[in-house]
């Protein structure tokens, strides 16, 4: 699955709140492949062509959990992704349908 997603980092690897200065929204081209959600700067690229930054932004979603971000109302179609290493991301999809589809696919892994 792939498509445009905006990301906001809410908590870092130890579960601590992401500090100010790194809490902004950023738009990515997301590609879900196997157990990894790639958050790429640009459109689809084969793995071999991913930049260092793209690889750094990739999220392991094995044992992650995606839910609708019911406690976040500033933007529509936002899901909350909790990873197994305690990171928390908010991800905004372009539509309700896309958000539901991402939630379903992430939780299937």
Work out whether the CA dihedral 92, 98, 99, 104 comes out positive or negative.
negative
Q: Please say whether the beta carbons of 57 and 48 come within 8 A.
A: no
Tell me how far, at minimum, the Cβ of 74 lies from ligand I3P, in Å.
5
User: Which run of H or of E encompasses 96?
Assistant: helix 96-108
**22 is a site residue for ligand I3P (CB under 6 A):** yes
Should residue 24 be labelled a site residue for ligand I3P when binding is judged by CB under 6 A?
Answer: yes
Site for ligand I3P in 42-101 (CB under 6 A): 74
Within 10 angstroms of residue 64's Cβ, the number of other Cβ atoms is: 19
Query: Applying CB under 6 A, does 29 fall inside the site for ligand I3P?
Result: no
Nearer to ligand I3P, 69 or 106 (CB): 69
User: Can you give the binding site for ligand I3P, defined by CB under 6 A?
Assistant: 20-25, 74
């Amino acid at each position: 699955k792939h498509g445009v997603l905006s990301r906001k980092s809410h908590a870092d690897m130890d579960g601590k709140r992401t500090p100010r200065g790194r809490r902004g929204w950023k738009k990515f081209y997301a590609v879900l492949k196997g157990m990894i959600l790639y958050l790429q700067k640009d459109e689809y690229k084969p793995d071999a062509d991913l930049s260092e930054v793209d690889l750094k932004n990739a999220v392991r979603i094995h044992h992650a959990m995606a839910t609708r971000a019911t406690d976040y109302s500033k933007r529509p179609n936002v899901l909350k992704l909790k990873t197994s290493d305690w990171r928390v991301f908010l991800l905004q999809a372009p539509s309700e349908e896309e958000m539901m589809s991402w939630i379903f696919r992430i939780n299937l892994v």
